[in-house]
Amino acid sequence: MTHTCPRCKQPGIGGLAKRWSSRAVPAKCTACGGLSHVLASTTSGIWAAGVVLFVASLIGGVGLPSGLFFCCGLVLMVACNVWAWRRAKMYPISEESASGANKANWLIAGVAAFFGLL
């Protein structure tokens, strides 16, 4: 499954590349080589919705003797996830700001590790 590139409007972004894209690690278009990413709020929103559906189906599955409710919940969770990722909008990002965000991430990780050692 491929997604439309926000730069050249060609289906040059791979499904997995889109899922794992962020400001620091953008997805690369195979058609034009341009970088783009999904907003972090979109990514976390999709994960949060998935967790909520999973917990809801788990609770329902425990309450009911049959596993049907749990299976339905899982199917719904996967369907919502696929649908949300298909709808998720991609934003173009320049190579400079991508590497800048990457550096900022490393800086934050470094500071966090530093405080973790204290």
Least CB distance to Zn ion at residue 43 (A): 20
User: CA 29, CA 36: separation in Å to the nearest integer?
Assistant: 8
Q: How far apart are CA 19 and CA 109, in angstroms?
A: 22
Number of C-beta neighbours around residue 10 at 10 A: 14
Q: What is the DSSP letter of 7?
A: T
To Zn ion, the closest distance from the beta carbon of 69 in angstroms equals 43
Binding-residue total with Zn ion (CB under 5 A): 8
Does residue 73 belong to the site contacting Zn ion (CB under 5 A)? no
1 to 40, contacts with Zn ion by CB under 5 A?
A: 5, 7-8, 12, 29, 31-32, 34
- Measured from the CB atom, is 5 or 93 closer to Zn ion? 5
Q: Which is nearer to Zn ion, 31 or 39 (CB)?
A: 31
Question: Residue 82 Cβ, how far from Zn ion at the closest point, in Å?
Answer: 22
- Nearer to Zn ion among residue 36 and residue 57 (C-beta): 36
Which C-beta is closer to Zn ion: that of 3 or that of 23?
3
Confirm if 21 and 36 have CB atoms less than 8 A apart: yes
Of 6, 10, 30, which is closest to residue 88 (Cα–Cα)?
6
Q: How distant is the alpha carbon of residue 113 from its chain centre?
A: 25
Q: How many other CB atoms are there within 10 angstroms of residue 59's CB atom?
A: 13
Residues near Zn ion (CB under 5 A) = 5, 7-8, 12, 29, 31-32, 34
